């Protein structure tokens, strides 16, 4: 299943929210291509360990 790089982006996520959470995900070493965000906040995914 080859998905585009922006496949993980959800329509419910705002750019502003992504800016803050994205930095946290990067620091946590979480890779977007391996994580799937469906109705969950990026911050929650980070806490859940992706």
- Name the residue ranges covered by the structural domains of the chain: 14-47
Q: What is the pLDDT of residue 12?
A: 56
Q: What is the pLDDT of residue 27?
A: 45
Q: What is the pLDDT of residue 8?
A: 58
Exposed/middle/buried for 25, CB within 10 Å: 0-12, 13-18, 19+? buried
Q: What is the pLDDT of residue 22?
A: 54
pLDDT digits (tens, 9 = 90+) for 1-50: 555 555 555 555 555 555 455 555 554 445 454 455 554 555 655 555 55
Q: What is the pLDDT of residue 43?
A: 60
């Amino acid at each position: 299943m080859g998905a585009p790089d922006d496949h993980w982006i959800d329509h419910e996520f705002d750019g502003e929210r992504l800016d803050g959470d994205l930095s946290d995900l990067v620091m946590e070493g979480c890779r977007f291509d391996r994580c799937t965000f469906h109705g969950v906040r990026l911050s929650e995914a980070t806490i859940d360990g992706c």
